[in-house]
Chain A
Amino acid sequence: MDNNIAENPSPTRAKWRKVAYGGMQPRFDDNHTDDSFLEGMVMNANVVKRDMLKVMQDSISISQYLCIVVLVGLVWTYTLRSTLDETSLLYLDVSLLGSGFLVLLLTKEMLSLNLLLHYLLNVFLFTTGLYVLAPVYQTLTRSISSDSIWAVTVSLLILHLFLHDYSGSTVRAPGALKNPTLTSFISLNASVVASVFIASRLPSRLHVFAIMLFSLQVFLFAPLFDGHDVGFCLYTTPATFCSVVGFIGFCDCGVSLMAYTDARIQV
């Protein structure tokens, strides 16, 4: 069967063409290629160039948030073990509130008295509401075993970390929560529910109020500070990290000291 096109039956060697039709080209191997074969090749078409500084900033904000959540978990643990009593918790809450306001004063450009009063009113209402609802939280999980509570809390915290919106430190127009996505809502709810579960295990109403205030301060208000000042982040992250390590170390020392003295007393 005739299957070759005789394009130009010239005596000289015909030029090799990069075509699929026409069968084998005469006097050329079937797998012959010449220099023009890879002309259309495009390499690295979709490579994204990354800026080192920006990548560092983003990773810092993520690790900072991880440290904060670990600190919260630590406070919970030591409250549950009665290492931290309710008065120190209340001091902690007040100092957090105070430092929050300080940061606000330092970073907001125009701060009128009206705005300040508005914020103070909100905080007051929030705190009062929590205090009123504290007895409800206390009896919420009385019928559930402790093991389930710990398991659910840990999984909720992991879910919170997983779905949290870490893009807060990217450069955007300043404002409150910007374009919140479904996952950020889910993560926020997870963290709040985890705090409620932990609070419900505590003995007294004041305990419950203090721990709820602390947890909600961190989870609700911390994202608001995310975009404010990257330099601020750069300083606070090492501070947060060191405080985590220091806190763990201090409390472990305290616990082991107590255990030691306990042992001594028993002997």
Chain B
Amino acid sequence: MGDSKRQRILMVSDFFYPNFGGVENHIYLLSQCLIKLGHKVVVMTHAYGNRSGVRYMTGGLKVYYVPWKPFLMQNTLPTFYGTLPIIRTILIREQISLVHGHQAFSTLCHEALMHARTMGYKVVFTDHSLYGFADVGSIHMNKDCHQKRLVYRKGADLLVEVIPEVCRMYPNVRFIVGGDGPKRVRLEEMREKHSLQDRVEMLGAVPHARVRSVLISGHIFLNSSLTEAFCIAILEAASCGLLTVSTRVGGVPEVLPDDMIVLAEPDPTDMVQAIKKAISILPMIDPQDMHNRMKKLYDWHDVAKRTEIVYDRALKCSNQSLLERLSRYLACGAWAGKLFCLVMIIDFLLWRLLQLWKPAEDIEVVPDIVLSHDED
């Protein structure tokens, strides 16, 4: 709130461009908005194939692609102390004031946070939803159905029951199903069994860039997930002016206002009722109006401002010496507490060793380059 001091923020995660996904987008867009607010942002991630070293992205966003090979699902091998030297170097070079880690599945993030705490920096951690990996992003909508990834988590089995029923009740309703996955076979079977080839169109995997063009060809968006933390797909559909019908699971009821979404229990009959209701209120929906409302409801600059508030709070936390921190770690459990303390003590000793071996004065500090905002 107001004009806080200019911070230098290090974003750490295993997931960043050139990977595509929720976490990656979040980090990139948040960094861009923070830069516009006047802060300096540096991103640290692991190398992707040949893309290793330092790269600059839009707005002067500096990205360190640390040359560690990912070993499992885009995660670097957790070596506990292997990343300490490089993280220390980056923190000193860029004169970082705050470290922001992303995604609980990212080992690089956790290691960076641990080392940053040892070295006395303030840290912030954001845990994204459980399934934060790169989405296939296949979304199809057309006067009816939308389907994302055809895995059991997405309730493909629900769709298999709902689609024939709706097709029977409404002769002029068509479905477009996008996405690929283990349950695609079930949908194809359902299509064959009820002879719905001309009414159910299966598009297969849709690349993220084509999602919008597929979305705007539809009128209602159907989401039948059985578990969902947030569901970006619903946001994307609402931004394209589609009315959403979704299962009432997880965080879905909190995503859209009640007049933009029709909720149903994850039960075929209830979902058919919801689709009926959606079709009946469809004439009253104005896509352009919905799009304009969505622009105001979700805004990256708003997210950046709220993140700034969190950063200010974090920076106001008191500095704790090693002993005080160790007493907090000890409280974690009978055996775990002692193990954690051991890990942190070794980390501290290694840090002191590094300070003797490679003193901070020898590390070149990067001069501040502020891109003129007129050129945006």
Binding site for B on A (CB under 8 A): 1-3, 5, 18-24, 30
Contacts and interface: CB of A to CB of B under 8 A. Distances in A.
Given A19-B254, A20-B255, A21-B256, A5 B306 contact: no
Contacts of A23: 297, 299, 302, 306
Contacts of A30: 306, 309-310
Contact of B297 (A1, A22, A24): A22
B128 interface: no
B316 interface: no
Contacts of B254: 18-21
B251 A3 contact: no
Contacts of A22: 297
B257 interface: yes
B62 interface: no
Contacts of B255: 20-21
Nearest to B238: A21
Contacts of A19: 254, 257
B302 A5 contact: no
A1 to B, nearest CB: 5
B298 interface: yes
B312 to A, nearest CB: 12
A20 B301 contact: no
Query: What is the interface of chain B mostly: helix, strand, loop, or mixed?
Result: helix
Contacts of A5: 296-297
Interface in B295-317: 296-299, 301-302, 305-306, 309-310
A34 to B, nearest CB: 14
A8 to B, nearest CB: 14
A26 to B, nearest CB: 12
15 contacts: A3-B296, A3-B301, A5-B296, A20-B230, A20-B251, A21-B254, A21-B256, A21-B297, A23-B297, A23-B302, A23-B306, A24-B302, A24-B306, A30-B306, A30-B309
Contacts of A18: 254
Contacts of B251: 20
Contacts of A24: 302, 305-306
Nearest to B256: A21
A22 B257 CA distance: 9
Nearest to A21: B297
Given A20-B230, A20-B255, A21-B257, A1 B301 contact: yes
Contacts of A1: 299, 301-302
The residue in A3, A5, A24, A30 that gathers the most chain B C-beta atoms within 10 A of its C-beta is A3
Contact of A2 (B230, B256, B296, B298): B296
A18 B250 CA distance: 13
Contacts of B297: 5, 21-23
A3 B302 contact: yes
Task: Give the most central of A18, A20, A24, A30: most B CB within 10 Å.
Answer: A20
Contacts of B305: 24
Interface string B267-304: 00000000000000000000000000000111101100
Residue among A1, A18, A21, A22 with the most chain B CB within 10 A? A21
A3 B304 CA distance: 12
Instruction: For the complex of A and B, list the 4 residue pairs with the smallest distance between their C-beta atoms, beginning with the closest.
Output: A21-B297, A3-B302, A23-B302, A20-B254
B299 A3 contact: yes
B79 to A, nearest CB: 34
Nearest to A22: B297
Contacts of B306: 23-24, 30
A24 B310 CA distance: 13
Nearest to A24: B306
B304 to A, nearest CB: 11
A62 to B, nearest CB: 31
A22 B260 CA distance: 14
Contacts of B296: 2-3, 5
A176 B301 CA distance: 71
A2 B301 CA distance: 10
Given A1-B302, A5-B296, A23-B302, 15 more contacts: A3-B299, A3-B301, A3-B302, A19-B254, A19-B257, A20-B251, A20-B255, A21-B254, A21-B255, A21-B256, A21-B257, A23-B306, A24-B305, A24-B306, A30-B310
Contacts of B301: 1, 3
Contacts of A20: 230, 251, 254-255
Interface string B240-264: 0000000000010011110000000
Nearest to A19: B254
Contacts of B309: 30
A26 B297 CA distance: 14
Could you say which of B255, B257, B296 has the most chain A C-beta atoms within 10 Å of its C-beta?
B296
A14 to B, nearest CB: 15
A20 B306 CA distance: 13
A22 B299 CA distance: 9
A111 to B, nearest CB: 50
